[in-house]
Amino acid sequence: MIDTTYEAAKQDQQLAHAAPRLTHPTPCTEMPAYMTEVYDWAYVDPAWVRWLDHNLVVKTLLFCNDQRLMRRYLERIRPGMRVWQVAHVYGDLVQRAAQRTGPEGCFHLTDVTPIQIAHGRSKLDAMPWTRVIRQDAALHIAEPGETYDLICNFMLLHEVPDDWKRRIVDNMLAQMPAHGEVLFVDYHGPARWQPVRYILKLVNRLLEPFAHALWENEISHFASQPERYEWSKETLFGGVYQVVSVKHKTTR
Ligand SMILES: C[S@@+](CC[C@H](N)C(=O)[O-])C[C@H]1O[C@@H](n2cnc3c(N)ncnc32)[C@H](O)[C@@H]1O
């Protein structure tokens, strides 16, 4: 059982810092090496995380596209649905998603980072139909007999190395029931006329080494068997962002 306090989270992180470099996802409490090597300041260090976990930060990072990107996800959630969000997101997105499923449904949030789990739990504590689970999105599996109607990956894929992208995409698709939907909201290759393209090029070079892969590849390219599914993509803000919906192919 993972403790939710900041102190416990800090201790867990110190252990993770001391852990040897990992090359493959491992179950539950191991933190992937890229989290401490690349994203320590953004998601791991509790002092930074406290400053960053606000709607205004998300709005700024997403060039004020936060609400329209979140709407693509939230509008799909109806009362009674079972939803898995594969990673924590700063601000109030997780509460808003959980409120939409309501107590007739369920909302499961996974994340690999102890401090993110602590923040997720503090946001969702008052909603007993939610669960916050410390697990790698590449490995999380619904409990036996349970499935998710909607599985959402909100701005995670660009932050993980390509082999993790493949594992996460494959795992999400493997968990999708016949009637279900998998949703990816993430970066995309911006149009050449879009000035933000040049800002993001620099950001990617300096801070986001795994993001450029989404400029060059469709998300379907990270799936082992893309042909088994229907893929539909919407791009926003001059191609900076994409919303990709995946469903099982319908048999006529
Ligand atoms: C969803 S992404 C980026 C979201 C966005 N930039 C924001 O405003 O929060 C960040 C989260 O992904 C989590 N994460 C990274 N790799 C993960 C993995 N393999 N499985 C689950 N969560 C992961 C991090 O711990 C962090 O909480």
Terminal-residue alpha carbon distance, the chain? 46
**Residues facing 95 on adjacent strands:** none
pLDDT tens digits, 64-94: 999 999 999 999 999 999 999 999 999 999 9
Ligand 1 pocket, residue 52 CB under 6 Å: no
Ligand 1 pocket, residue 88 CB under 6 Å: yes
Distances, alpha carbon 20 to alpha carbons 44, 163, 251, in Å: 17, 19, 47
Ligand 1 pocket, residue 66 CB under 6 Å: no
In whole angstroms, give the CA distance from residue 71 to residue 153.
14
Q: How far does residue 6's CA lie from ligand 1's centre (Å)?
A: 18
pLDDT tens digits, 171-225: 999 999 999 999 999 999 999 999 999 999 999 999 999 999 999 999 999 999 9
Q: How far does residue 252's CA lie from ligand 1's centre (Å)?
A: 38
Q: How many C-beta neighbours within 10 Å does residue 66 have?
A: 21
Rg (CA), the chain: 17
Give the residue, 224 or 26, on which the prediction is more confident: 224
In whole angstroms, give the CA distance from residue 238 to residue 246.
22
List of domains in the chain: 6-248 (3.40.50.150)
In whole angstroms, give the CA distance from residue 59 to residue 110.
22
Q: How far does residue 159's CA lie from ligand 1's centre (Å)?
A: 7
Q: Is the pLDDT of residue 231 over 80?
A: yes
Which residue type occupies 73? Y
Ligand 1 pocket, residue 43 CB under 6 Å: yes
Write down the residue that tokens 């009674």 correspond to.
80
In whole angstroms, give the CA distance from residue 124 to residue 118.
10
Ligand 1 pocket, residue 16 CB under 6 Å: no
Answer yes or no: are the C-beta atoms of 57 and 63 closer than 8 Å: no
Answer yes or no: are the C-beta atoms of 151 and 76 closer than 8 Å: no
Q: How far does residue 250's CA lie from ligand 1's centre (Å)?
A: 32
**Residue 141 in tokens:** 């599996």
